[in-house]
Amino acid sequence: MNLLEIFENSDDLIKFPVGTTIFKEGTAGDFMYVVVEGRIRLSLQNEFIGEESPGGIVGEMALLDSDKRSATATALSDCLLAPIDLHSFKLLIKHTPDFALHVMKVLADRLRLANEMIVR
């Protein structure tokens, strides 16, 4: 599934200039974001843990478990992001089942990365 096709023409897109902190680790999170344009750096305690590009998602963990943000997201370039609140997330899962699979794959990839970091 191509998330860009769903969100690229949305009226709700948010612009984040290069260098902008999109969200900080430890803060509350009511939205996740789909990256429509640009690149986002993910860091934990100022250590690089990953990067997302168009079609990627960030902020999903805080949205799903209502806990604080587990990482910081920073715009590596000018970015255009589609915000998704919990209500919209539930609608997407209901009407676009591939979206749920995409989110689960992202979570599995991030869990695998976290396990690798622990083993090092």
State pLDDT tens for residues 37-56.
999 999 999 999 889 999 99
Torsion angle of alpha carbons 117, 113, 111, 50, nearest 10°? 110
pTM of the model: 0.88
Domains of the chain: 3-110 (2.60.120.10)
Residue ranges with strand state E in 1-120: 14-16, 21-23, 32-37, 40-44, 47-52, 57-58, 72-75, 79-84
**What is the crossing angle of helices 97-119 and 86-95, to 10°?**
110
**pLDDT band with cut points at 50, 70 and 90 for residue 8:** confident
